[in-house]
Structure formats: C-alpha cells, structure tokens
C-alpha cells in the first residue's frame, strides 16, 4: 500500500480516474489489504494516513471505509475511530453455517442445472487452487482466496439467482480474510476436498456432491474455530495450560496430574484476567 504523495508511486493511480471509480479503486485496495492481513483485525484505520499511503485525497478513502463498514469488514466506534473488524469464534461459526446452508442448499435443490461447461469450469478452478499452493509466490493468500472463492461461486450459481449470489458474497467476504491464515496442511486438505466435490459433480451424483460440500466446509470451519479460540486465549490461560502439561509430561503419574490441576486452579482463581 505504498505510493508517493503525488499518486505516481506503486500504489497511486496516474490517470486520475473519475471520483466514483477512484472510490472503487481505493475500496479494492483496502479490501485486498484486509483479506491478505496486511491490515490485520483490530488495525486502526486513519483516513489521512491511508490517503498518504495510497496517493489520494482523504475523501475517497473515507467513502471506501464507509462501504467497508457497511460490509461489516470495518467497525466505526464513537471517539475511537475506524478499525478492521475483529470477529470472534461465535460470529465466524454463524457465518460458516450460513455459507454451508447456501452452498449445500444450492447443490441439493438446483443440481439439475449442472452442465458439462460448469464441471469444466469447476475443474479449472480446483486446478488453479492447487497450482497456487504448489507454486507459492507473491500475494499467495489473495490468489488462494480468489481460486477457492471462484470454485464455490460455481456451486451457488446453480441457483441462477443473483440475490442468493449476493448473499453468498456478503457472507464469504468475512470468512476469506481469516481463511488466508490457514497453515500449509489445511491447504493440502482443501486440494483433496475440492477434488472430491468436483468428482461428484462430474459423475452427476447429487448426494455425494452435497456430502462433499458439507464435509469440506465443516472441516474448514472446525480448523478456523480452533485457530480463533486459540488466539483468543489470554497469555495467562495459555501459561496455566502449559504448566499443567509440563508437569504431566515430566512425572507421568496421577500425583503429578493432580498437582498440575491444583496449580492451574489456584492460578485461575488468583488471576486478574478472570
């Protein structure tokens, strides 16, 4: 997100596009930064600072931030300003369940709309995702998100309903930024799960397709829930858990287990965090 103040740097726009288009460009740039976690959850967003980095005036930045706030990606609190939204495990689980409902429902109710062209497009998206995982390179998280999102869009497009597709995009935009922080093993699992989904569509097996979609999204949700809950733990609670695990590992006895539990409970009660 760097550029020269006159807008001629790598992040600026030399052509001075119309105001509406400039807002779109700023919106896209900030959205990319949020999804790629260059602006991680909780980051304070100061329009004047962002405007300098992007090489534009503060007005299009403010308008873009307003749109991001309407999307739920930015929070705006009185006297505290704007910041990148932080969604907890409960909110993220709700979003994943909504996504599961939309995708599995689309596959179940509109499977008769599957065509050879659709299957070929899904195969291409799955292959593109795997290629990004194997190749690495710059903007890895964004490119993985784009390839993954495109495959899942094809499922929702079975409905041939633009309203449902917009609902899906609104839900998925929140999930994408968090998924970008997945470890390598989750990407490998996603390749296998995508292959199972595409194979079911290729063979026109509706039951297997819905099951594959369900399993893929539940696995992704569970992995993300674990990540979020681990991140949400206070350092004090992590220390308590580590003390207990260490005592058990060193002694390997019931007495050590009891001692570790007593230690954890004592620290838990005395901790100012609770």
Taking only the tens place, the pLDDT of each residue in 61-77 is: 999 999 888 877 888 88
User: What is the signed CA dihedral for 21, 26, 31, 37, rounded to 10 degrees?
Assistant: 160
Q: How much is the pLDDT for 233?
A: 58
Q: How much is the pLDDT for 253?
A: 44
DSSP 91-122: HHHHHHHHHHHHHHHHHHHSGGG--HHHHHHH
**CATH code of domain 89-232:** 1.20.120.530
Query: What is the rounded average pLDDT of the residues 46-53?
Result: 93
Distance CA 203, CA 219 (A): 23
Contacts of 209 (CB under 8 A, 6+ apart): 107, 111, 197, 200, 201
Kindly tell me if the per-residue pLDDT of 151 is higher than 80.
yes
Q: Tokens 């979020």 sit at which residue? A: 228
**% of the chain exceeding 90 in pLDDT:** 42
Q: How much is the pLDDT for 10?
A: 42
User: Closest by alpha carbon to 40, among 142, 177, 138?
Assistant: 177
What would the two tokens of residue 257 be?
């287990």
Which band of pLDDT confidence, cut at 50, 70 and 90, is reported for residue 173? confident
Q: How much is the pLDDT for 102?
A: 95
- The per-residue pLDDT for range 224-250, each reduced to its tens digit, is 888 777 766 545 545 544 554 454 444
Q: How much is the pLDDT for 228?
A: 75
**CATH code of domain 19-84:** 1.10.10.10
Q: How far is CA 196 from CA 191, 200, 213, in A?
A: 9, 6, 9
């Amino acid at each position: 997100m760097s550029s020269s103040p006159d807008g001629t740097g790598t992040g600026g726009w030399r052509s001075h596009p119309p105001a509406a288009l400039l807002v779109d460009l700023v919106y896209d740039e900030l959205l990319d930064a949020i999804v790629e976690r260059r602006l991680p959850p909780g980051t304070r967003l100061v329009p004047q600072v962002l405007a300098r980095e992007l090489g534009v005036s503060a007005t299009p930045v403010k308008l873009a931030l307003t749109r991001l706030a309407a999307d739920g990606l930015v929070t705006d609190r009185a006297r505290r300003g704007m910041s990148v939204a932080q969604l907890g495990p409960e909110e993220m689980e709700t979003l994943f369940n909504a996504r599961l409902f939309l995708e599995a429902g689309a596959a179940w109710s509109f499977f008769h709309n599957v065509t050879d062209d659709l299957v070929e497009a899904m195969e291409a998206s799955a292959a593109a995702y795997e290629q990004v995982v194997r190749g690495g390179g710059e903007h890895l998280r964004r490119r993985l998100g784009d390839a993954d999102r495109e495959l899942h869009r094809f499922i929702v497009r079975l409905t041939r309903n633009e309203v449902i597709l917009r609902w899906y995009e609104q839900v998925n935009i929140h999930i994408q930024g968090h998924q970008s922080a997945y470890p390598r093993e989750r990407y490998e699992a996603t390749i296998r799960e995508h292959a199972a989904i595409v194979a079911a569509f290729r063979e026109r097996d509706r039951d297997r397709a819905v099951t594959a979609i369900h399993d893929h999204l539940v696995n992704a949700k569970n992995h993300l829930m674990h990540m979020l809950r681990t991140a949400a733990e206070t350092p004090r609670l992590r220390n308590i858990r580590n003390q207990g695990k260490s005592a058990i590992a060193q002694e390997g006895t019931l007495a050590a287990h009891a001692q570790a539990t007593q230690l954890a409970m004592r620290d838990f009660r005395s901790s100012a965090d609770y």
